[in-house]
Amino acid sequence: QSALTQPPSASGSPGQSVTISCTGTSRDIGAFNYISWYQQYPGKAPKLIISEVSNRPSGVTARFSGSKSGNTASLTVSGLQAEDEADYYCASFVDYDSWLIGGGTKLTVL
């Protein structure tokens, strides 16, 4: 059970777009469309921002979008704002009712 692979850091200036990748295998990301993304501020609980590859829960800004190609999922944050500075994690359902979470990406707004 290796974690999904995310870049440790990403950055962008206010107003720009940033994409964070999440790479898995044909047993997890490549096999299922149950990919989710979470935002976490320091000292706080994570918050779901994307489910099922590209679905945004009610109340989540449309500046967050998700996609998937093969064994790689991506989160794009458009129109970067200072409040987007946080840690972001991807997760995927895996066979036999288990889940994997990525190592996390620290997003810095320059």
Partner 1 sequence: EVLLVESGGGLVQPGGSLRLSCAAFGFDYSNAWMHWVRQAPGKGLVWVSHINSDGSTTTYADSVKGRFTISRDNAKNTLYLQMNSLRAEDTAVYYCARDKSYAMAVWGQGTTVTVSS
Residues that bind partner 1 (CB under 8 A): 1, 3, 32, 34, 36, 38, 40, 45-48, 51-52, 55, 57, 87, 89, 91, 93, 96-104
Torsion of CA 84, 41, 10, 80, to 10 degrees: 0
Q: How far is the CB of 15 from partner 1 (least distance, A)?
A: 28
Q: How far is the CB of 51 from partner 1 (least distance, A)?
A: 4
In whole angstroms, how close is the CB of 90 to partner 1 at the nearest point?
A: 10
Asked if 16 contacts 80 with a C-beta cutoff of 8 angstroms, the reply is yes
Nearer to partner 1 by Cβ, of 34 and 76: the residue is 34
Place of tokens 């590209």: 54
CA distances from 91 to 7, 31, 34, 47, 49 (A): 14, 13, 8, 12, 12
Residues 76/53, Cβ–Cβ less than 8 Å: no
Residue 84 Cβ, how far from partner 1 at the closest point, in Å?
A: 18
